[in-house]
């Protein structure tokens, strides 16, 4: 169970306005979604959707400047924020556009890993609950997918974000990724899918010769974590019920011929049962539908999760092994930190006052636990900026433009 | 034939040049004049061919020996030149009929692709290379050193590849976006965004190219369509053609309100196909269904005649028994029910899913109950379920055999026969709502015996031969043939 004793959803109406006035990192957010201003109107044509108080849901929100975004968010005080696609026209004016011509053009390639999809293979929690024992599944998922998206697909700019409750999201922000068609997105998602079948399928992973290099890479990640995760933490061999579940993944006849097991392997070529079992327990489960649609709306980074109060923060992959979802700051925590004078402030009072005057509303998150996560986001933005610069230099070199 | 805006004269083209290859990309529209009769008959024949491609694609594994043999048999024997000319013209005629909606375009592209793949695979290696050259398809080849360093990985990712093959034959490097079919099924090696394609797999890349071109061309055709449709000789013909492929789509609701909610439980056991029976049971047990299940089952219910008010009541009463209170239902789920009935958003009136759609798209994952049980369930679990529903062991075995052979719709038909106690279902199953209608027909007093005799006689006629009717009757006869295509039962 997630300890949320500090956070009370009833306080949201008071906390959210403060969050949007003083803490939400608007300038980084705008910098991200403008993508260097390379494409005209990229930010202006982006759809946002808000869920307001009392579950009122509004789509096709769009903004012309960072300032307008800030003002509107401070006015509407959304409980949830989703980011959609970049359209052919300003989403807020979509009704004025001739029917059929208003189209979603580009969007980041996204992935949503949700812990509920692992309910059939985790014993510690179910549904919306998570704990440190099953969080390893997210670590495994991130390692496998991050490697594949970079090495196999050649993407460079990946933003991994904690969803705020029970999963993680990945935003692939490369230019090429944003331009992918529906068919391409669906193909990428299927390439990355190994778990097939719903309630009616017992054996969800079937491997056959030859084993694709992608599967081998993924297996080596799973094998690194399997013993600690499945045997120790999940204790899958610890009760008859769970042992039976494991045995159900083996073909019936293997159990009645233990003596000729080695011959059996050769005959059936089925030497992959151990790999299949490990994958079924640990391999990432994606919702292909989330990744497929160009116009699909996904929870925005730095938005709040109303049920837990946690902020959807970027995850630093360099510190992945020590990432703890229960350490992620809640809105009540950071609002409280904002009010509290910090220990080191006394010495720099003059400097701080000046700064606050000049940049009111811009740097207040720096006084809170949110700061380190905004830094992760900054580094991500820097990398994209460097990459864009590199491309422009390449282009101008080609044109002999010095 | 005149296509507005496109007049490229083929300079110096003799008969031989125009059709010098049996396969083409359909880049240039035909420029000759043809009679109205030829227009009609060419179109109908190609449509029949595409329908055959579709049916074979469901009942056989594509590109298997069986599939190829059967498709061979369908293609009639006339002069090579005539064949190619007809192929060229008929393709463009059907473009006119199938460019108008997303659904039509998708269907047409799918069948044309399957047909193209079959014909490309049939080509001699030399002709394949000829085709690539003729159409300016130049794909980047991988250097010998790179091939050597990646050899093991290539062999492990591509079907039918050996060390010698890698050394001797070209391996192509294309951006992964151009090899989606291979990426999707993980049948290719990917590195840094490139797919490494062995020579014998080049067809998949060519197909991708084919699909992209055809897709663009259809969009363009749709824009020029109004000019064509204003020709009154063509307008009724084209509109009949585009309705032929799908047959009954159950989009127009008949018998609205004839079913009461209290009847649904009983009906699910008697007249629902297995997929819907399964969904209904899951809904009753869990008081919830995920999106995929809500769509598949919700649209089916619409198809059998539930009104919007009934549907709302049905879903609300069930969800409220679960974790959703009435308020939340109204906020979160009622919208999507109304959406299904075309009362929200785009206001498209969604059509109930056909078997093809259920089998081929959106496979179920953990927590889902939709899909086709014959396609998506473990055979063991399917067997158990059939036994629970009192299907005899021999019947169950017959069904499982059909499932093994991937004949999912036939398996469902067999299920129909066993549960209704008839030898022959008497129809060719392709839609869950069709299953329901046929079942209700049977249970309420049987079909017309005479009609069945007539139909079996008709199907024995040779479908390939098309007599050329006199000008006066041509239109009438043609419309009859279209009718037959859309209602094979």
Q: Which residue of B has its CA nearest to A118?
A: B366
Residue of B nearest to A280 (CA): B366
- Cα(A198)–Cα(B370) distance, rounded to whole angstroms? 9
Q: B388 and chain A: CB distance < 8 Å anywhere?
A: no
Mutate to test the interface with B, among A56, A194, A199 (most CBs of B within 10 A): A199
More confident residue, B2 or B175: B175
Of A198, A202, A289, the CB nearest to B369: A198
Helix (H, G, I), strand (E, B) or coil at A379: helix
Q: Which position among A112, A174, A233, A337 bears the catalytic label? A: A112
pLDDT band at B474 (very low <50, low <70, confident <90, very high): very low
Predicted ipTM? 0.87
Q: Are A76 and A16 in contact (CB under 8 A)?
A: no
CB atoms inside a 10 Å sphere around CB B253 = 16
Q: Which residue among A114, A174, A233, A276 is the active-site one?
A: A114
The helix (H) or strand (E) run that includes residue A110 is: strand A109-114
Higher per-residue pLDDT: A299 or B404 = A299
B381 touches chain A (CB under 8 A): yes
A181: left (phi over 0), alpha (psi -120 to 50) or beta: beta
Bridge partners of A49, per DSSP, are A82
Q: Which residues pair with A209 in a beta bridge?
A: none
Chain Cα centroid distance, residue B172: 30
Q: Which of A202, A212, A289 sits opposite B156 (nearest CB)?
A: A212
Q: Are A286 and A192 in contact (CB under 8 A)?
A: yes
User: Would you state the pLDDT for residue B468?
Assistant: 36
Task: Going residue by residue through chain A, which has 402 residues, state the pLDDT in tens, using 9 for 90 and above.
Answer: 344 447 899 999 999 999 999 999 999 999 999 999 999 999 999 999 999 999 999 999 999 999 999 999 999 999 999 999 999 999 999 999 887 789 999 999 999 999 988 888 888 888 888 888 889 999 999 999 999 999 999 999 999 999 999 999 999 999 999 999 999 999 999 999 999 877 777 788 888 888 999 999 999 999 998 887 877 777 777 788 877 777 777 766 555 544 444 444 433 445 688 888 889 889 999 999 999 999 999 999 999 999 999 999 999 999 999 999 999 999 999 999 988 765 554 445 555 555 554 455 446 888 899 999 999 999 999 999 999 999 888 888 877 755
Yes or no: say if B200 and B160 are a contact pair by the CB < 8 Å rule: yes
The answer, for B178 touching chain A at a CB cutoff of 8 Å, is no
Nearest CA in chain B to A57: B331
Which residues 193-212 of B are in CB contact (within 8 Å) with A? 193-194
Q: Which residue did the predictor score with more confidence, B237 or B255?
A: B237
- From chain B, pick out residues whose CB is under 8 angstroms from the CB of A201: 376-378, 381
Instruction: Report, as an integer, the average pLDDT of B263-291.
Output: 94
What would the DSSP string read from start to end of A3-32?
Answer: --TT--GGGHHHHHHHIIIIIS-HHHHHHH
The yes-or-no answer on residue A114 being catalytic is yes
Q: How far is CA B340 from CA A344, B218, B221, B358, in A?
A: 59, 28, 30, 17
Of the listed ranges A304-313, B133-142, B274-283, the one predicted with least confidence: B133-142
How large is the average pLDDT for residues B283-293? 93
Interface test with B, best of A191, A207, A215 (most B CBs within 10 A): A191
Q: Return the SS3 of A60.
A: strand
What is the per-residue pLDDT for A347? 44
Single pTM value for the model: 0.70
pLDDT at residue B443 above 70?
Answer: yes
Please say whether the beta carbons of A347 and A312 come within 8 A: no
Chain A residues inside the 8 Å CB shell of B363: 196-197
Residue of B nearest to A119 (CA): B366
Give the best-scoring range by mean pLDDT among A145-149, A202-206, B145-149, B263-267.
A145-149
Q: Is the pLDDT of residue B255 over 50?
A: yes
User: What pLDDT score was predicted for residue A59?
Assistant: 95
Per annotation, catalytic residue among A47, A70, A174, A276:
A47
B325 CB neighbours in chain A (<8 A) are none
Q: Is B273 helix (H, G, I), strand (E, B) or coil?
A: coil
Nearest Cα to A154, choosing from B163, B283, B175, B407? Answer: B175
- Spatial distance between the Cα atoms of B175 and A154, rounded to a whole number of angstroms: 10
Q: How far is CA B271 from CA B119, B266, B289, B417, B458, in A?
A: 41, 8, 21, 12, 29
**Long-range contacts: A384-392, Cβ < 8 Å, 24+?**
A384/A35, A384/A36, A384/A157, A384/A173, A385/A36, A387/A156, A387/A157, A388/A35, A388/A36, A388/A38
Whether residue A245 is preceded by a cis peptide bond, meaning omega within 30 degrees of 0, is no
CA distance A51 to A59: 9
Which residue blocks in A171-287 are alpha helix, DSSP H?
Answer: 175-178, 182-191, 213-226, 240-247, 261-268, 273-282
Cβ–Cβ of B373/A200 closer than 8 Å? yes
User: Among the ranges A31-45, A277-291, B70-84, B254-268, which has the highest mean pLDDT value?
Assistant: A31-45
Residues in A touching B364 (Cβ below 8 Å): 197-200
Q: Give the count of beta carbons closer than 10 Å to the beta carbon of residue B279.
A: 26
| Token pair of B46 as six digits | 């190609």
pLDDT of residue A131: 87
Q: How does DSSP classify residue A233?
A: I
- Tell me the pLDDT band of B269, cut-offs 50, 70 and 90: very high
Please tell me whether B372 is known to bind a ligand.
yes
Does B376 lie at the interface with A, CB-CB under 8 angstroms? yes
> What are the tens digits of pLDDT across the range B382-398?
999 999 998 999 999 99
Tell me which residue of B187, B24, B48 sits closest to B488, measured CA to CA: B48
Partner-chain residue, chosen from B186, B191, B378, that has the shortest CB–CB distance to A200: B378
Chain A residues in contact with B373 (beta carbon < 8 A) = 200
Interchain CB contact of B185 with A (< 8 Å):
yes
Judge whether B275 is annotated as a binding position: yes
Q: Do B366 and A55 touch (CB under 8 A)?
A: no
């Amino acid at each position: 169970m997630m300890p949320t004793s500090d956070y009370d959803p009833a306080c949201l109406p008071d906390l959210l306005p403060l969050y949007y006035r003083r803490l939400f990192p608007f300038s980084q957010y705008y910098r991200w979604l403008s993508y260097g201003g390379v494409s005209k109107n990229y930010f202006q044509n982006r759809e946002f959707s808000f869920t307001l108080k009392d579950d009122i849901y509004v789509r096709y929100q769009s903004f012309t400047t960072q300032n307008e975004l800030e003002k509107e968010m401070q006015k509407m005080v959304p409980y949830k924020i989703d980011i959609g696609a970049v359209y052919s026209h300003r989403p807020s004016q979509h009704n004025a556009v001739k029917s059929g011509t208003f189209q979603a053009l580009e969007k980041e390639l996204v992935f949503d890993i949700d812990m509920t999809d692992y309910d059939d293979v985790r014993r510690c929690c179910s549904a919306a609950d998570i704990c440190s024992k099953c969080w390893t599944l997210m670590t495994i998922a991130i390692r496998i997918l991050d490697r594949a998206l970079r090495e196999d697909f050649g993407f460079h700019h990946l933003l991994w974000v904690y969803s705020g409750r029970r999963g993680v999201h990945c935003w692939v922000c490369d230019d090429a990724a944003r331009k992918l068609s529906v068919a391409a997105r669906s193909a990428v998602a299927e390439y990355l899918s190994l778990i097939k079948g719903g309630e009616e399928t017992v054996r969800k992973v079937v491997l056959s010769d030859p084993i694709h290099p992608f599967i081998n890479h993924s297996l080596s990640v799973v094998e690194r974590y399997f013993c600690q995760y499945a045997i120790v933490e999940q204790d899958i061999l610890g009760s008859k019920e769970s042992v039976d579940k494991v045995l159900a993944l083996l073909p019936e006849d293997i159990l009645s011929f233990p003596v000729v097991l080695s011959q059996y392997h050769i005959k059936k070529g089925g030497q992959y049962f151990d790999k299949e079992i490990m994958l079924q327990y640990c391999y990432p489960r994606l919702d292909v539908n989330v990744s497929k649609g160009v116009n699909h709306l996904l929870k925005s980074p730095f938005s709040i999760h109303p049920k837990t109060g946690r902020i959807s923060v970027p995850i630093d992959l360099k510190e992945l092994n020590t990432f703890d979802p229960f350490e992620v700051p809640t809105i009540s925590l950071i609002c409280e930190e904002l009010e509290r004078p910090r220990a080191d402030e006394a010495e720099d009072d003059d400097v701080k006052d000046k700064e606050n005057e000049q940049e009111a509303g811009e740097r207040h998150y720096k006084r809170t636990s949110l700061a380190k996560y905004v830094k992760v986001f900054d580094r991500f933005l820097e990398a994209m900026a460097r990459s864009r610069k590199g491309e422009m230099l390449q282009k101008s070199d080609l044109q002999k433009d010095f | 034939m005149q296509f507005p805006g496109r007049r490229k004269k083929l300079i110096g083209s003799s008969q031989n040049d125009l059709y010098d290859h049996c396969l083409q990309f359909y880049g240039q529209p035909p420029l000759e004049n043809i009679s109205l009769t030829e227009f009609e008959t060419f179109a109908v024949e190609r449509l029949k061919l595409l329908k055959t491609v579709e049916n074979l694609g469901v009942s056989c594994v594509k590109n298997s020996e069986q599939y190829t043999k059967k498709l061979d048999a369908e293609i009639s024997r006339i002069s090579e030149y005539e064949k190619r000319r007809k192929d060229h013209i008929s393709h463009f005629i059907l473009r006119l009929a199938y460019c108008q909606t997303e659904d039509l375009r998708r269907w047409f592209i799918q069948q044309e692709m399957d047909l193209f793949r079959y014909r490309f695979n049939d080509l001699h290696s030399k002709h394949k290379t000829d085709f690539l050259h003729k159409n300016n398809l130049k794909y980047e080849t991988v250097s010998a050193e790179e091939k050597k360093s990646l050899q093991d990985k290539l062999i492990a990712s591509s079907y039918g590849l050996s060390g010698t093959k890698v050394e001797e034959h070209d391996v192509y490097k294309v951006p992964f976006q151009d090899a989606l079919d291979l990426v999707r099924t993980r049948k290719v090696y990917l590195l840094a965004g490139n797919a490494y394609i062995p020579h014998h797999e080049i067809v998949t890349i060519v197909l991708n190219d084919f699909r992209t071109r055809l897709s663009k061309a259809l969009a363009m055709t749709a824009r020029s369509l109004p000019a064509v449709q204003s020709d009154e000789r063509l307008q009724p013909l084209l509109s009949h053609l585009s309705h032929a492929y799908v047959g009954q789509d159950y989009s127009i609701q008949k018998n609205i309100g004839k079913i009461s909610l209290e009847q649904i439980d009983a009906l699910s056991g008697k007249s629902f196909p297995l997929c819907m029976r399964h969904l209904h049971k899951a809904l009753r047990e869990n008081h919830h269904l995920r999106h995929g299940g809500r769509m598949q089952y919700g649209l089916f219910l619409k198809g059998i005649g539930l009104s919007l008010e009934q549907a709302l009541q049905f879903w609300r009463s069930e969800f409220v028994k679960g974790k959703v209170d009435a308020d939340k239902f109204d906020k979160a789920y009622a919208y999507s029910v109304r959406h299904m009935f075309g009362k929200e958003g785009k206001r498209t009136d969604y059509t109930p899913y056909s078997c093809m759609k259920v089998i081929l798209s959106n496979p179920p994952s953990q927590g889902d109950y939709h899909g086709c049980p014959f396609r998506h369930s473990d055979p063991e679990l399917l067997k158990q379920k059939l036994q629970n529903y009192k299907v005899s062991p021999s019947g169950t075995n017959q069904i499982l055999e059909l499932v093994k052979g991937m004949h999912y719709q036939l398996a469902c038909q067999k299920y129909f026969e066993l549960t209704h106690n008839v030898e022959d279902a008497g129809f060719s199953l392709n839609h869950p709502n069709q299953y329901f209608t046929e079942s209700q027909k049977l249970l309420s007093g049987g079909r017309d015996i005479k009609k069945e005799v007539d139909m079996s006689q008709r199907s024995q006629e040779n479908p390939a031969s098309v007599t050329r009717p006199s000008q006066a009757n041509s239109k009438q006869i043609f419309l009859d043939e279209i009718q037959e295509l859309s209602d094979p039962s």
